[in-house]
Amino acid sequence: MSIPDHFRARASESRPPLEEARSFLVAVTEDAVGPDEIRAQVRALVASHPASVRRKLMAIETVLGQEHPEGELTRFVGWDLNRALDDPTDAASAQWIADVADIVREELESAD
């Protein structure tokens, strides 16, 4: 069976790191109440798709290493990820994302 060219082209496209991070973070945090539930979601994804999770972690790390316009990370965490932080600032939002990245990294390392 052959894969249609338009599907093959789309699969090979690279999305911007923020979009990659967004799709992954929404998937692992949208129904999670806290870090333990996020960890459980990440663990399940690592068990079935470790290479994909590694790529998503790289995207998250890229986002954390980039400069962003003021308020972008706050909007990203608050609106896109629907997280109400006690400190709604870019610094606190970056820390929240970094904390999730730590969970992802730990789960990948424990799976190896």
Exposure letters 38-64 (e unless 16+ CB within 10 A, then b) = bbebbbebbeeeeeebeebbebbbebb
Query: What's the angle, vertex CA 82, arms to CA 109 and CA 19, rounded to 5?
Result: 60
Identity (one letter) of the amino acid at 30? E
**5 lies in some domain:** no
Q: Would 60 be classed as within a structural domain?
A: yes
- Structural domain contains residue 8: no
Task: Count the domains in the chain.
Answer: 1
Predicted local confidence at residue 86, as pLDDT: 94
3 in any annotated domain: no
**Which residue in the block uniquely carries the two structure tokens 């986002």?**
63
Find, among 103, 84, 106, 88, the residue nearest to 25 by Cα.
Answer: 103
Once rounded to an integer, what is the mean pLDDT over residues 103-109?
A: 97
pTM, full prediction: 0.85
Q: What is the pLDDT of residues 74-92, one digit of tens each?
A: 999 999 999 999 999 999 9
Instruction: Please tell me the predicted confidence (pLDDT) of residue 1.
Output: 57
Task: Name the token pair of 41.
Answer: 């979601």
For residue range 11-67, list pLDDT tens digits in order. Answer: 556 789 999 999 999 999 988 889 999 999 999 999 999 999 999 999 999 999 999
68 occurs within a structural domain? yes
Is 23 a domain residue? yes
3-state helix, strand and coil shares in percent for the chain, rounded to the nearest 5: 75, 0, 25
Is 54 domain-assigned?
A: yes
Q: Which domain holds residue 37?
A: 14-111
